[in-house]
Structure 1
């Protein structure tokens, strides 16, 4: 093999290696799990954690309301509120004020 052929193959191998390194570098920066995506993923995580916190608080409020409506020990105030709200029931001596 001549010197120029060997030099040509060596340059080809180096070029391919450089292209591979550049592709890996671009992927590390701009790929789906690269540095640019890292910030977006962090923002999404923060948003989802806030949503999870809100949903857990809502679930806790609903759990409390279900416990108050347990047939074995119903909260009388809540039962009265629901009867008035859902069945449009009121005592004759009560005054109803609608708030809009």
Structure 2
């Protein structure tokens, strides 16, 4: 695995997600209310919805277009649909967000 620096933690407000581009892949990083970070592919496989714009809690994010719900740790669709997105290990080091690919 390779670590990739995405940007500043300050770019992601608490309770929200932001999309970062990495080698042609869109990755959504969520800064949860408890301060922890989660990272998933940023595009919903159903119809291309922007997952970083979805509502997220400590467990899931809901696609803003059609309501598909993805587990923030595993990327699996939480309601049993045969959809999933890739999840990424994500950390913050000295104020910088990093993922492992």
**TM-score calculated relative to the size of structure 1:** 0.21
The structure that is strand-richer by fraction is 2
The structure that is helix-richer by fraction is 1
